[in-house]
Amino acid sequence: MSPTTVDIVPFLSEKSRLWKSCGIRGLFPLEDIPGMISLLAGAPNPSTFPFESITMKLKPTLAGMPAPTGDDDHFNVTLECDELDEALQYGMTAGVTRFVEWLEAFQTHVHKRGPDGTWSVTVGAGSQDLMYKACEALIDVGDYVLVETPVYAGTLGFLAALPGSLVEVNGDSQGLNPAHLESILANWEMAHPGKPFPKLLYTIPSGSNPTGASIPEERKIEVLKLATKYNFLVLEDDAYAFLYYGPEGQQARSYFALEPEVNGELGRVVRFDSFSKVLSSGMRLGYMTAPPRLAAAVNMITSNTNLQPPTLTQIMAYTVLAQWGPDGFLAHCAEVAAVYRARRDTFERVARKHLTGLAEWTTPVAGMFLYIKLLVHPDGREADSAELVSGRAVAKGVLAVPGTAFMPLGGKTPFVRVSFSLIEEDRAEEACRRLREVLLEARAEAEAAPRET
């Protein structure tokens, strides 16, 4: 049986229909008609730009890359002449065409989904740019949005400014919990009489920010089945997908890869990838893989706001990626992931030394975070990390993010997010030692305080 394609149109927000094609950018595609003389864009003349060439010199060869074209151990690329003019100029709203095509081929390579017209790639100024615009194009007043909890505080920042009510779906050490999702949906009509069912689910499947959890494939399958049963979209924010350092061959396939085989559907998953963790966060490049009609709605917003993602960094990224090829890029990502695995090991070693009995956490297999539960009350009651982390820990000279920052509806939590991406061993050791002092003091006070009834 051939898969059915989910109709995305009913999911689009009223507001998405208000954005109109910009009178200039809307005509850009006509410039490609052979023989056309374009007097269209108010583009600056690149001969006036002060840059003559830009040379990128890559670090010594990483595994999987082709032989270097520069000197012995380095790989140099110079952008100049027409290519530099293009890189410094305005470009297409959805991204530089050859970069978009490379990314589409890469998605096919990684997720085993050929170009069948049900998805396309759009480049953004970071994945968050695209997530915000996709939510803007989907969420109406009165809509409900399911949010994996706890969740990346950056997403909560823009969701707070959009219409729609957030519904927390609990996560645990295995990521999003499908049993909780199911109980919310099965009881929806009773809990929310007369209200529409949720329109979408936002989730971070790999090395989640903040929990570090990665959801196994079996859970993803359950989530996808629920998505079909209750007719909601799955927004898969996979910013840490390429920072997987767990057992080889055991990384779960993406929601995007799984959706055709789970319920024979295409177009229910909207996927967000980021180059921030594997090429550069300052280049501001991410990409969305989405049904073309949603991509068009996002592009419409871009063409009226920031116009396009940066051409220069797209061409820099494309030049390197085209040299590496998909497997070379994946080999690079594996090397990056190995760096984070080593940092995780180091951080965990010192954390165990100083915090055993005072805190607990689950070892992540991807990403750059430990989500640490503070054990303050000897009787097992849960502490509120906010005061401890924002007050006492700061006073002792250690900074981390209290778990409440990641709760869509606020509330107390005993967790704190620690990032091990940058910290060297001696500093990590000192941070854990200070955290230990904070916890020992809090514990002593808790033991001395009369028990609340």
Number of chain residues interacting with ligand PLP (CB under 6 A) = 13
Enter the tokens of residue 432: 């854990």
- Binding piece for ligand PLP, criterion CB under 6 A, among 55-63, 100-108, 121-129, 217-225: 121-129
Please state, in angstroms and rounded to a whole number, the distance separating the CA atoms of residues 273 and 281: 12
Question: In whole angstroms, how close is the CB of 417 to ligand PLP at the nearest point?
Answer: 11
Window contacting ligand PLP (CB under 6 A); options: 114-122, 125-133, 287-295, 444-452:
125-133
Determine if 259 is a binding residue for ligand PLP (CB under 6 A). no
Query: Which pair of tokens denotes residue 361?
Result: 């956490």
Choice from 128, 289, 302, 308 touching ligand PLP (CB under 6 A): 128
Q: If we measure between CA atoms, which residue out of 222, 143, 230 comes closest to residue 175?
A: 222
Residues 285-304 close enough to bind ligand PLP by CB under 6 A: 286
Alpha-carbon span 358 to 167, nearest angstrom: 31
Q: Smallest gap, in angstroms, from Cβ of residue 349 to ligand PLP?
A: 25
- With CB under 6 A as the contact rule, which of the stretches 86-94, 273-281, 423-431, 433-441 interacts with ligand PLP? 273-281
Q: Does the footprint of ligand PLP cover residue 314 (CB under 6 A)?
A: no
- Of 126 and 328, nearer to ligand PLP (C-beta) is 126
Distance CA 287, CA 447 (A): 51
Quote the least distance from Cβ 126 to ligand PLP, whole Å. Answer: 3
Residue 204 touching ligand PLP (CB under 6 A): yes
Read off the tokens for 263: 């319920």
Torsion region of 411: left, alpha or beta (phi above 0 gives left; psi -120 to 50 gives alpha): left
Phi, psi of 51 (to 5 degrees): -95, 130
Measured from the Cβ of residue 326, the count of other Cβ atoms closer than 10 Å reads: 15
Q: Is residue 148 within the footprint of ligand PLP (CB under 6 A)?
A: no
**Of these, 206, 274, 302, 311, which contacts ligand PLP (CB under 6 A)?**
274
CB of 151: closest distance to ligand PLP in angstroms? 8
209 part of the interface to ligand PLP, by CB under 6 A: yes
Q: Which is nearer to ligand PLP, 214 or 274 (CB)?
A: 274
Q: Which residue, 235 or 266, has its beta carbon nearer to ligand PLP? A: 235
List the one residue out of 337, 343, 285, 282 whose CA is nearest residue 309.
Answer: 285
Cβ proximity to ligand PLP, 266 vs 298, nearer residue? 298
For residue 402, whether the previous peptide bond is cis, meaning omega lies within 30 degrees of 0, is no
Answer yes or no: are the C-beta atoms of 130 and 275 closer than 8 Å. Answer: no
Concatenated DSSP letters for 119-139?
A: -EEEEESSHHHHHHHHHHHH-
**Residue 237 interacts with ligand PLP (CB under 6 A)?**
yes
User: In the complex, which residue's CB is closest to ligand PLP?
Assistant: 126
Applying CB under 6 A, the span of 57-65, 123-131, 250-258, 356-364 interacting with ligand PLP comes to 123-131
Q: Using the rule CB under 6 A, which residue among 53, 281, 305, 363 binds ligand PLP?
A: 281
Q: Is 152 in the site for ligand PLP (CB under 6 A)?
A: yes
For 328-371, give the DSSP string.
Answer: HHHHHHHHHHHHHHHHHHHHHHHHHHHHBTTEE-PPPSBSSEEE
DSSP string, 88-120: TS---TT--HHHHHHHHHHHHHHH-----SS-E
Please, which residue, 16 or 128, has the CB nearer to ligand PLP? Answer: 128
Rounded (10°) angle between helices 311-355 and 425-448: 50
Check binding of 154 to ligand PLP (CB under 6 A).
Answer: yes
Note whether 3 binds ligand PLP by CB under 6 A.
Answer: no
Q: Which residues here bind ligand PLP, judged by CB under 6 A? A: 126-128, 152, 154, 204, 209, 237, 239, 274, 276, 281, 286
